[in-house]
């Protein structure tokens, strides 16, 4: 069994120019399969609210749910670097709340890093969690938890002024103690500049190829999602079609009576059925 990947390994990868492969997943089975590959990082994202729970945003996701699924992913992938995502309203009511909830991910779920969707107003949260001894991934660029304020999302930092703002925000996050950056949906050129100026690993989520690593959600990678997704998503499998076929075949065999058969059933020990019938006989 390979040793557990740590933040030191990710920093070494950046310094050596080795790309970091990361994936968002939300359950034990998927995590156990990811652990058999060369992927180094699993993020348990609050995107579970959409792809697992079926909400139209990440906002309804609760802290207890996130802790539970993060612990499940840790059990499935005990040696990968595990990042846990702070859900909406888990760090918005004060620094004590933020540190307490971040600590739950570490003590109850085995997370090694805490992801915070971090605009400038939350620099103190990044610092507080970092000062409490926990590694922080600052999530900048598109931040899904702001959906009710912005209305809809569009690519970030596509103009010079907006690009400068994002670069400055990244530097502020690093100064506050962020140990990694995740840049979502930003112009590739700007993400590359941030990566070059940063001493910590920078992970791209739809922010171009020139960051230190890349992340997609597992359902997109597997081709489990159907219909158009974000521009940056790519299917590396076609499991949605295979899954529909498998469920269809399952239903068909049930309706025909060909499943379950004797091989897929439990049976009484030899001679016991005869004894049972004798016991059930009214003349016994």
Between 152 and 15, where is the model more confident? 15
Q: Where in 195-267 does DSSP place strands (E)?
A: 202-205, 213-217
Query: What's the pLDDT at 49?
Result: 96
The alpha carbon dihedral of 160, 166, 168, 171 has a sign of: negative
The pLDDT value given to residue 257: 96
pLDDT at 2: 75
pLDDT at residue number 283: 66
Domains of the chain and CATH, by start: 7-237 (3.20.20.60), 243-280 (no CATH)
Average pLDDT, integer, range 161-180: 98
Cα–Cα separations (whole angstroms), residue 149 to 15, 144, 145, 165, 208: 38, 10, 9, 19, 26
Per the CB < 8 A criterion, the answer to whether 237 and 221 are in contact is yes
DSSP element (H, E) containing 249 = helix 239-256
Per the prediction, the chain carries an average pLDDT of 95
pLDDT of residue 149: 76
Say whether pLDDT at 277 is over 90.
Answer: yes
Task: State mean pLDDT over 153-164.
Answer: 93
Q: How far apart are CA 87 and CA 92, in angstroms?
A: 10
Characterize the bridge pairing of strands 213-217 and 202-205.
Answer: parallel
Average pLDDT over residues 191-203: 98
Question: Two tokens at 55?
Answer: 């909400």
Q: Is 176 strand, coil or helix?
A: helix
User: Collapsing DSSP states into helix, strand and coil, what is residue 278?
Assistant: helix
pLDDT recorded at residue 151: 67
At 98-114, the pLDDT tens digits run 999 999 999 999 999 99
More confident residue, 26 or 1: 26
Q: Could you give the percent of the chain with pLDDT greater than 90?
A: 90
Q: Among 121-135, 183-197, 221-235, which is the least confidently predicted range?
A: 221-235
Which residues lie below 8 Å from residue 19, measured CB to CB, with a gap of 6+?
13, 212, 213, 214
Average pLDDT over every residue of 167-171: 98
Categorize the per-residue pLDDT at 282 as very low, low, confident or very high, splitting at 50, 70 and 90. confident
Residues 6 or more apart whose CB falls under 8 angstroms from that of 6 comprise 81, 112
Summarize the confidence of residues 121-128 as an average pLDDT.
Answer: 97
pLDDT at 284: 54
- Position 216 scores a pLDDT of 96
* pLDDT (0 to 100) of residue 154: 87
Residues designated as active site = 184
Cis ω before 204 (30° cut-off from 0): no
What pLDDT sits at residue 39? 97
- pLDDT value of position 92: 95
DSSP structure string for 130-175: HHTT-EEEEEEES-GGGHHHHSS---B--SHHHHHHHHHHHHHHHH
Buried b / exposed e along 232-266 (16+ C-beta atoms within 10 A):
beebeeebbeeeeeeeeeeeeeeeeeeeeeeeeee
What tens digit of pLDDT does each residue of 72-86 get?
Answer: 999 999 999 999 999
| Nearest CA-CA partner of 190 in 203, 205, 207 | 207
The H helix count followed by the E strand count for the chain is 12, 8
In Å, how far from its chain's centre is CA 223?
A: 16
pLDDT, residue 153, reads 74
Q: 97 falls in which pLDDT band (50, 70, 90)?
A: very high
Cα 179 to Cα 106: distance, rounded to the nearest angstrom: 16
pLDDT average, residue stretch 216-222: 95
- pLDDT tens digits along 227-263: 777 778 888 998 999 999 999 999 999 999 999 999 9
Give, as one character, the DSSP assignment of residue 274: H
């Amino acid at each position: 069994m390979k040793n557990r990947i740590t933040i030191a390994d990710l920093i070494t990868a950046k310094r050596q120019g080795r790309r970091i492969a990361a994936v968002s997943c939300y359950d034990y089975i998927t995590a156990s399969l990811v652990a058999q590959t060369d992927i180094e990082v699993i993020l348990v994202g609050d995107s579970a609210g959409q792809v697992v729970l079926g909400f139209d945003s990440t906002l309804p996701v609760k802290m207890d749910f996130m802790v539970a699924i993060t612990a499940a992913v840790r059990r499935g992938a005990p040696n990968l670097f595990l990042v846990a995502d702070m859900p909406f309203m888990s760090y918005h009511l004060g620094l004590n709340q933020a540190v307490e909830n971040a600590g739950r991910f570490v003590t109850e779920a085995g997370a090694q890093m805490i992801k915070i969707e971090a605009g400038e107003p939350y620099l103190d949260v990044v610092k507080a969690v970092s000062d409490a001894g926990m590694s922080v991934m600052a999530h900048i660029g598109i931040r899904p938890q702001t959906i009710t304020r912005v209305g809809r999302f569009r690519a970030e930092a596509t103009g010079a002024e907006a690009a400068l703002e994002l670069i400055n925000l990244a530097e502020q996050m690093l100064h506050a103690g962020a140990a990694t950056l995740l840049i979502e949906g930003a112009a590739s050129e700007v993400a590359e500049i941030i990566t070059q100026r940063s001493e910590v690993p920078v992970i791209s989520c739809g922010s171009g190829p020139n960051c230190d690593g890349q992340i997609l959600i597992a359902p997109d990678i597997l081709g489990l999602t159907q219909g158009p997704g974000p521009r940056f998503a790519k299917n590396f499998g076609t499991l949605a079609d295979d899954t529909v076929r498998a469920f269809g075949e399952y239903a068909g065999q049930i309706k025909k009576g060909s499943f379950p058969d004797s091989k897929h059933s439990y049976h009484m020990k030899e001679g016991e059925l005869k004894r049972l019938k004798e016991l059930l006989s009214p003349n016994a």
